[in-house]
Amino acid sequence: MSIFNIVIAGVGGQGVLLASKVLAESALAGGMDVKQNEVHGMAQRGGSVISFVRIGAEVFSPVVVPGSADILISFEPLEALRYLHYLKPGGKLVYNRVTINPSTVAAGLAKYPSDVEEQIARSCPGAQGIDALAIAQEAGNAKAVNMVMVGAVVKNLPLDAGIVENVVREISRDKGVEVNLRALAGGAAA
Amino acid sequence: MKKIISGNEAIALSFGDSGGVFASGYPGTPSTETLEEVARLGGVYCEWAPNEKVALESAIGASIAGGRALATMKHVGVNVAADPLMTFTYTGVNAGLILMVSDDPGMHSSQNEQDSRNFAKFAKIPMLDPANSQEAYDFVRYGFEISEQFDTPLMLRTTTRISHAKGIVEPKEKIPPQIKALARDVPKYVMLPNFAKIRHVAVEARLLALQEFAETTPLNRVEMNDTELGILTSGVSYQHVKEAYPNASVLKLGLVHPLPEQKIREFAGRVKRFMIVEELDAIFEEQIRAMGIRVDIGKNRVPLCGEVNADIIRTAGGDQVFAGMAPVADLPQRPPTFCPGCAHRGLFSLLSKHKVFVSGDIGCYTLGALPPMNAMHACIDMGASISAAHGIAKVNDMAGGREKPVAVIGDSTFFHSGITGLLSLSYNNGNALVVIMDNRTTGMTGGQENPGSGRVLMGQPAKEVDIEALVRVLGIDNVVTINAYNLEETEAAIKKGMETPGPYVLIDKNPCILRYRVKQPTVVVDPDKCTGCRACLKAACVALGLADNSAKPKVQVDPNICNGCGVCTQLCKFDAMSEAK
């Protein structure tokens, strides 16, 4: 089995790290080797966040090099564009269509590209954009965007949907279980 | 049972499983989660020290008292702890002691990328360099054995990709903690010159014994494969090497100081091209070249700066890498910024407005240096804000016609090493305005307890330091408590502080909204009153944005992001912003 490379991108505070944890735990539960890695420290302060999950029979490096990702999961369109070059030719992009202003845009120092989705479609034909915020809100919590995104990509991953659901059940806090499971299902249906 | 955990979590788990009894450290990315995990796992005593020097000294005390001890810190923390380290290497240990140090190649969250392997060489102590979470777990146990067998402190070095990367770990059988007799051995532990002279000889003998050990220990492993290319490497670089050249022969070092000279000579002799892959400094390469061993590829091809990866290694080896699409150019940057609702925003919007010279420090508030605030002009190391401001003020006074500098420091950094700087400012008749942003936590690293938070790492209540009283006791007469959310009041206090000659201290006491989960009512914009003047955007808050792409768009607030600090409301001259009803 060759190594399956997943890159998850987003904005600090969106729950990129928890989504990564779900995928990594699911790989372990499925009997595969896995390495998961992100850089945190400043992750909660609205900065750009990128996380790697690598799944295979034996995984060495925790790092995905540009041009080698099988899938890019982006929680925000601008971040999808920023990390697009991590995809290998023919790699899959699934992104949340809801934009979040970087501080530079919020301060009026830069413009958010108004054609961000057109740029994505041009560079990555077949990219799938979903309205994860609306699905999360429908599931009961706007913060469940991360679980919606996990739900949306499971069918593209070498992971078992039932195992992923069990992992989400295990890592959710009591009150969050139902919301997270609804978000997961909502994402899968998107 | 197998678990998927980070290197930091593996070290914490192994510390408890390997008879550890005392752990101390100071938070610093990427090392922080280690002690947090020791506390979460329970069963072993652990604490945050006010700084790394204190952490190591307390761990030294624990070792002398017969308990296996761990001190944790980031790479620059060892600079602070270097004083005890450089003499503790002479005394050696009673129970084993591990100094865990986390390097940050690539500077994901650090002010420099110094290579801690230099410290192992400098202190003449053994250093282990794990390559994944399992090794991080295993090397703690080996580390205590080596520390006790060779009577030496031992450094366990991680890098960001080891500390934070998660991999599968299978824990070993738990060793119950044992506390040895308290060491009362004057010539060994009292480093008066006459005793130290004897100990220095012991240190040199120890290093020779460790060199012999390095030749035979399974920590250093040869993977003989194709002999066209042989690569010497360690730590996370080993993993990148395995990706880049799966068929090459590899000499993987687990013990990276001292080096196994014979083993290296033999390995280099068996391969056609000998390559060294090490992140940061040429520490292996310099020593290996000094042994007279031919090195074909080393720092002539592998960069000295930043992290390595499989592509960099293949390029260094003269081989092709797959070139994917180019990164999309000219995208707006998304740097980290003050959290919505953070009190730092209020202070920095004012410092920015008045264009004062700000001597900054290490913490979330360092982000005040970024646009649009641009309100920090120097930031060197923990605690330097006040002492550097003091030097700046002295020269400013000599130059004449210059304004008083402002030092900005957080509570944890103040406890760490700001107190002595303030003492100097007071004692040496200094002339700076010092703002202490006391948010009752060590914020940048994720909200750890400190002597001001009223709670210790293991959860018990603790004395809360009264910073105002402490500042007064240091001899500062002008101490004013401010509320940085109130711009008018804070602006007046800054003005008074700037105009009053001599040391002047302002203390803001608003809790970290992230750590203490503070929720404030959100702000709404009245589109009829908003003129699109953008004065509010100076708050640099990600909750603010422009409503449309017209020539003079009005401002809107994202209610999912806004945390109601009210700074934008106060910056608005047209009364267009208010609390949501």
Domain ranges of chain B: 3-216, 221-316, 344-508, 523-579
Q: Where are the alpha helices (DSSP H) in B109-159?
A: 117-123, 133-149
Please report the residues numbered 136 through 165 in chain B whose beta carbons come closer than 8 angstroms to any beta carbon of chain A: 160-161, 164-165
Distance CA B11, CA B73 (A): 13
Q: What pTM was computed for the model?
A: 0.96
CB contact under 8 Å between A102 and B534, yes or no, is no
- H-run or E-run covering B85: helix B75-91
Neighbours of B412 (CB within 10 A): 30
Label residue B345 exposed, middle or buried (CB < 10 Å: 0-12, 13-18, 19+). buried
What is the CATH class of B344-508? alpha beta
Per-residue confidence (pLDDT) for residue B349, from 0 to 100? 95
- B221-316, what's its fold? Rossmann fold (3.40.50)
Chain B residues 69-128 with a CB less than 8 Å from chain A: 108-109
Q: Do B334 and A46 touch (CB under 8 A)?
A: yes
CB spacing of A87 vs B543 below 8 angstroms: no
Cβ-nearest to A47 among B4, B336, B444:
B336
pLDDT of residue A175: 78
Distance from CA of A178 to the nearest CA of B (A): 21
Identify the CATH class of A4-189.
alpha beta
Beta-carbon separation of A42 and B109 below 8 A: yes
Q: Which of B307, B371, B444 sits opposite A107 (nearest CB)?
A: B371
Chain A residues whose beta carbon lies within 8 Å of the beta carbon of residue B328: 81-82, 84-85, 119, 123
Report yes or no: B509 and B481 within 8 Å, Cβ to Cβ. yes
> Is residue A40 very low, low, confident or very high in pLDDT (cuts 50, 70, 90)?
low
Q: Provide, rounded to the nearest whole percent, the portion of chain B with pLDDT above 70.
A: 100
Identify the CA nearest to B39 among candidates B73, B6, B13, B60. B13
Residue B442 has pLDDT above 90, yes or no: yes
Q: Is-contact B102 B64, C-beta < 8 A?
A: no
Query: Residue A108 — pLDDT band, cuts 50, 70, 90?
Result: confident
Asked if B309's CB is within 8 angstroms of A61's CB, the reply is: yes
pLDDT-wise least confident of A21-25, B3-7, B130-134, B543-547: B543-547
Joined together, the tokens standing for residue B290 give 């000094």
B444 touches chain A (CB under 8 A): yes
**CA A135 to CA A189: how far, in whole Å?**
10
The band of A109, judged by pLDDT with boundaries at 50, 70 and 90, is: confident
Residue of B nearest to A22 (CA): B4
Q: What is the mean pLDDT of residues B162-187?
A: 97
Residues of B in contact with A89 (CB under 8 A): 324
Query: Under a CB-based contact definition with an 8 Å cutoff, are residues A48 and A9 in contact?
Result: yes
Banded pLDDT at B258 (limits 50, 70, 90): very high
Mean pLDDT (chain B) is 96
Interface predicted TM-score (ipTM) of this complex, two decimals: 0.94
Q: Are B442 and B365 in contact (CB under 8 A)?
A: no
Domains B344-508 and B523-579 alike in fold: no
From the list A34, A66, A106, the residue facing B541 with the nearest CB is A106
What residues does each domain of chain A span?
4-189
Across the range B272-279, mean pLDDT stands at 98
C-alpha B192/C-alpha B186 separation (Å) is: 10
Task: Determine contact: B5 vs chain A, CB below 8 A.
Answer: no
In B, minimum Cα distance to A10 occurs at B334
Span B561-578, average pLDDT: 95
Suggest the residue from A63, A88, A96, A114 to mutate for an interface test with chain B (most B CBs closer than 10 A). Answer: A63
User: Are A101 and B542 a contacting pair at CB < 8 A?
Assistant: yes
**Looking at residues B157-183, what average pLDDT do you find?**
97
- When pLDDT is averaged across residues A146-174 and rounded to a whole number, the result is 95
Partner residue opposite A24 with nearest CB, options B4, B108, B540: B4
Q: Average pLDDT for residues B347-359, to the nearest whole number?
A: 97
Show residues of chain A in contact with B242, CB under 8 Å. Answer: 60-61
* Nearest C-alpha in B relative to A133: B560
pLDDT digits 0-9 by tens, A66-97: 999 999 999 999 999 999 999 999 999 999 99
Look at the block and give the residue holding tokens 């954009």. A129
Closest to B536 measured CA to CA, from B548, B523, B549, B518: B523
Whether B114 shows a pLDDT value over 80: the answer reads yes
Mean pLDDT on B332-340? 90
**B523-579 fold:** Alpha-Beta Plaits (3.30.70)
SS3 B221: strand
Q: With an 8 Å Cβ cutoff, is B243 touching chain A?
A: yes
| Dihedral class, residue B318 (left if φ above 0, else alpha if ψ from -120 to 50, else beta) | left
Class of domain B3-216: alpha beta
Whether the pLDDT of residue A1 is over 60: the answer is no
Residues of B with CB below 8 A from A45's CB? 336-339, 364, 367
**Smallest CA–CA distance from B532 into chain A, residue:** A108
Q: How many residues does chain B have?
A: 581
List, in sequence order, every residue forming a beta bridge with B277; answer none if it has no partner. B233
Whether B311 shows a pLDDT value over 70: the answer reads yes
Query: Can you tell me the mean pLDDT for B190-197?
Result: 98
Q: Is the Cβ pair B364, A46 closer than 8 Å?
A: no
Cβ–Cβ of A35/B165 closer than 8 Å?
A: yes
pLDDT of residue A44: 62
Question: Does B559 contact A at CB distance below 8 Å?
Answer: no
- How many C-beta atoms surround the C-beta of residue B247 within 10 A? 8
Dihedral angle at the C-alpha atoms of B294, B300, B306, B308, nearest 10 degrees? Answer: -60
Distance from CA of B225 to the nearest CA of A (A): 17
CA–CA dist B460, B48 (Å, integer): 13
Q: Which residue has the higher pLDDT, A5 or A114?
A: A5
List pLDDT tens digits, range B75-97. Answer: 999 999 999 999 999 999 999 99
Instruction: Flag if B166 and A37 touch (Cβ within 8 Å).
Output: yes
- Chain A: give the shortest CA distance to residue B204, in Å: 37
Residue of A nearest to B308 (CA): A63
Tens-place pLDDT, residues B548-565 = 878 889 999 999 889 999
Is the confidence at residue B229, as pLDDT, over 60?
A: yes
**Residue A42 binned pLDDT confidence (cut-offs 50, 70, 90):** low
Return the number of other C-beta atoms located less than 10 Å from residue A109's C-beta: 15
Region at A46 (left for phi over 0; alpha for psi -120 to 50; beta for the rest): left
Q: How many contacts, defined by CB atoms under 8 Å, are there between A and B?
A: 183
Query: Distance between CA B200 and CA B188 in Å, rounded?
Result: 11
Q: What is the pLDDT of residue B245?
A: 98
Question: A41 pLDDT exceeds 80?
Answer: no
Q: pLDDT band for B257, please (50, 70, 90 cuts).
A: very high
Asked if residue A149 has pLDDT above 70, the reply is yes
Q: How many CB atoms lie within 10 A of CB B16?
A: 22
B344 Cβ under 8 Å from any chain A Cβ: no
